[in-house]
Structure 1
Amino acid sequence: MSNSGTIKNVLIIGAGGNLGPSILTALLSEPKFVVTVLSRESSTSTFPSAAQVIKIPSYDDKAALIKAFTGQDAVINVVAGSVSRAAQNRIADAAAEAGVKRYIPNEFGSETRNPAAWALLPIFEDKYLQTKHAADLAEKHPGFTWTSVITGGFFDWGLKVGFYRFDLKQHTASIIDSGNAQATVTTLARIGDSIVSILLHPAETANRYIYTQSFNYTQNELLAALEKHTNAKWTVTHANSDELIKSGKAALAKGDFSGFQDIILAYNHGDEAHANHEKGVAESRAILGLPKQDLDTVLKEVLKA
């Protein structure tokens, strides 16, 4: 990478969603970065005054993307996963053509390099192919590099909105299969800190997957911790992962996107789960330099909020 790989000017696209604000907050807390937000003209999102804001008509406007990306050392893509792969790839193309040094595609979630996952949810294959597209661009554009970030589930967000089917108000929980499968999860703030660390270590993080984590947990461990911290006995139901996958696929076939949740939960928490990323996390931890968090501490903060 030119200029010894130094990254100063950082642009984030999609800073107004569920994850984007936490990444933006982390970027703005690092004095080495000059931070820009790219947003659509139709967006009503507001951003801290410390960030420069550029608005363009559409993310489909490649010329506008290239203009916005020119002069940026890094582009972080947190655009909604519902945006088509063609549109996501167009963002990567514009970054490469604009001379961006580091591009972070919109992975942020489960491991996507497992073909078994592609059969369950096409979005997994889409995310994998977006990263592959960035890797292909790196072969063609000297100085352009990429980093994909695997985080597991967004723990605090998922718990607050009921995605994991642990209801913090009603004190009810749905346990999948035995409830003993290990799952890697990361808080939104830790994802933001991980992005900062990646950009501060450009040589070590270039052209590779980086795994980050707050901690691993099982559903049974989460249930026990919630009962302790809420001082209540929770009402528990049980679900079968195979049935969740079946019902999830049926729902998606009808256009009901709640089926996505069923499949993700089964994939991450069933007894045949694929959500333990500890090996990848261990390899990345030395680079990121971020300490492992623990369930109890994070859970207290979530409940307090």
Structure 2
Amino acid sequence: MTSNAEKTGEKILVLGVGQLGTAILDSLQPAVSGLGRTITASVSPGSLNEHGRPVAPRHQKYAEAGIDFIALDIVASDISSLVPLFQQFDTVINCMGFVAGEGTQLKITRAVIQAGVSRYFPWQFGVDYDVVGKGSGQPVWDEQYDVRTLLRSQFSTDWVIVSTGMFTSFLFEPAFDVVNLEARTINALGSWETQVTVTSPEDIGRLTTAIYLAQPAIKNKVVYVAGDTLSYGRLADIVEAVEGHAFARRVLTLTALQHELEHNADDQMLRYRKAFALGKGVWWHVEQTYNAVWKIPVQNVEQWLRAR
């Protein structure tokens, strides 16, 4: 099979232009602009006007840079309608995330394979689902494990999984209830010694672009990246040092989270807290990551906090 990275005139599809899709376009577009490759990005149908042009200013800047846009309702689309769409592209980079609900990632992956796409970057920009396995309490994580199993069972599409850990910004999302800067509270998931790997979306965009362009081409491999790996205790120390005042500290033990889940089984954020509290497959050593080996600078938690 001819490597995509060696092709001229390659057609790239970026699925979704949310937080991660935007970060990838910011890095990918200038990186391939002189290589004879084209980028198309998918957005929801309401995001384009009657002429097929983006409505939002944040999307318009990409159109002005030469990126094409297509409308795609991923929830309403079945595999049979996705296959002819994907057949138009050589590489698909999936930035759809979990917002479309359970089953979406398997549907997209099956369509990519059936379409014979040469190279696929699935939505695996998160934890190490091989280590997590099934039964974490987070159904979409179970689906991610199944996506890996599906990709490894076939030989028509080369794939690259970029394992990033948690988005750095998610640590500070009040609804996630780990660090709440306004309320001045810090909750450790599992224990103060439990570790977590995080990477900023901007760094994920730059690193994914580097991995995509790497020669010889990377294929059928899990690539680990990281902005930081730290314990919740270390996280608390960093937050207090940067913010300049003390935070109320509390441990959300696995037992307590499980008990809470028994009474709030549909609480998605609670499911995430429990999955991360397990401490399994959610961290890896920074020294062994792609960015560390290739000496690509990234933003750690302290730098992210000071720059926000």
For normalisation by structure 2, the TM-score amounts to 0.81
**Residue matched to 1:53:** 69
Q: Deviations over 1:225-270 (max 9, x none)?
A: 2212211121222322221133235422xx33232233134124xx
For residues 185-200 of structure 1, what are the structure 2 equivalents within 5 Å?
Answer: 185-200=198-213
Residues 283 and 234 (structure 1), Cα distance of their counterparts in 2 relative to 1, 3 Å cut: closer
For residues 158-173 of structure 1, what are the structure 2 equivalents within 5 Å?
Answer: 158-161=171-174, 163-173=176-186
How far off its partner does 1:292 sit?
Answer: 5.0
> Are the aligned partners of 1:110 and 1:150 in contact in 2 as well (CA < 8 Å)?
yes
CA distance in 2, matches of 1:233, 1:4: 51
Q: SS at 2:153's partner residue?
A: helix
Residues 259 and 157 (structure 1), Cα distance of their counterparts in 2 relative to 1, 3 Å cut: closer
- C-alpha RMSD of matched pairs (Å): 2.8
Q: SS at 1:120's partner residue?
A: coil
For normalisation by structure 1, the TM-score amounts to 0.82
For residues 207-226 of structure 1, what are the structure 2 equivalents within 5 Å?
Answer: 207-226=220-239
**Residue matched to 2:52:** none
How far off its partner does 1:283 sit?
Answer: 5.5
- 1:297 matched to 2:308? The reply is no
**Residue matched to 1:276:** 283
How far off its partner does 1:196 sit?
Answer: 0.4
Q: SS at 2:43's partner residue?
A: strand
For residues 1-305 of structure 1, what are the structure 2 equivalents within 5 Å?
Answer: 1-2=1-2, 5-6=5-6, 8-16=10-18, 18-30=19-31, 31=33, 32=35, 33-42=37-46, 46=56, 47=59, 48-49=62-63, 50=65, 51-56=67-72, 58=74, 60-83=77-100, 86-114=103-131, 117-137=134-154, 139=155, 141=156, 144-161=157-174, 163-201=176-214, 203-252=216-265, 255-268=266-279, 273-278=280-285, 282=288, 284-285=290-291, 290-302=296-308
Residues 244 and 4 (structure 1), Cα distance of their counterparts in 2 relative to 1, 3 Å cut: closer
CA distance in 1, matches of 2:146, 2:117: 20
Q: Deviations over 1:254-291 (max 9, x none)?
A: x33232233134124xxxx5422128x71534776523
Residues 87 and 121 (structure 1), Cα distance of their counterparts in 2 relative to 1, 3 Å cut: closer
Residues 25 and 4 (structure 1), Cα distance of their counterparts in 2 relative to 1, 3 Å cut: closer
CA distance in 1, matches of 2:229, 2:44: 36
Q: SS at 1:72's partner residue?
A: coil
CA distance in 2, matches of 1:263, 1:149: 23
Identity level (%)? 21
CA distance in 2, matches of 1:288, 1:206: 17
Q: Deviations over 1:125-152 (max 9, x none)?
A: 2101112212323x2x2xx200112111
CA distance in 2, matches of 1:120, 1:177: 14
How far off its partner does 1:216 sit?
Answer: 1.0
Q: SS at 1:113's partner residue?
A: helix
Worse-superposed segment, 225-234 or 40-49: 40-49
How far off its partner does 1:204 sit?
Answer: 4.4
Q: SS at 2:129's partner residue?
A: coil
Residues 288 and 53 (structure 1), Cα distance of their counterparts in 2 relative to 1, 3 Å cut: farther
CA distance in 1, matches of 2:68, 2:209: 18
> Are the aligned partners of 2:165 and 2:197 in contact in 1 as well (CA < 8 Å)?
yes
- Which AA in structure 2 matches 1:263? K
How far off its partner does 1:35 sit?
Answer: 1.6
Residues 201 and 220 (structure 1), Cα distance of their counterparts in 2 relative to 1, 3 Å cut: same
Worse-superposed segment, 161-170 or 285-294: 285-294
CA distance in 2, matches of 1:84, 1:102: 24
Q: Deviations over 1:66-118 (max 9, x none)?
A: 33323422101122325466543332333334442210111111111135553
CA distance in 2, matches of 1:58, 1:4: 25
Which ranges in structure 1 are unaligned for 5 or more consecutive residues? none
> Are the aligned partners of 2:12 and 2:91 in contact in 1 as well (CA < 8 Å)?
yes
> Are the aligned partners of 1:249 and 1:259 in contact in 2 as well (CA < 8 Å)?
no
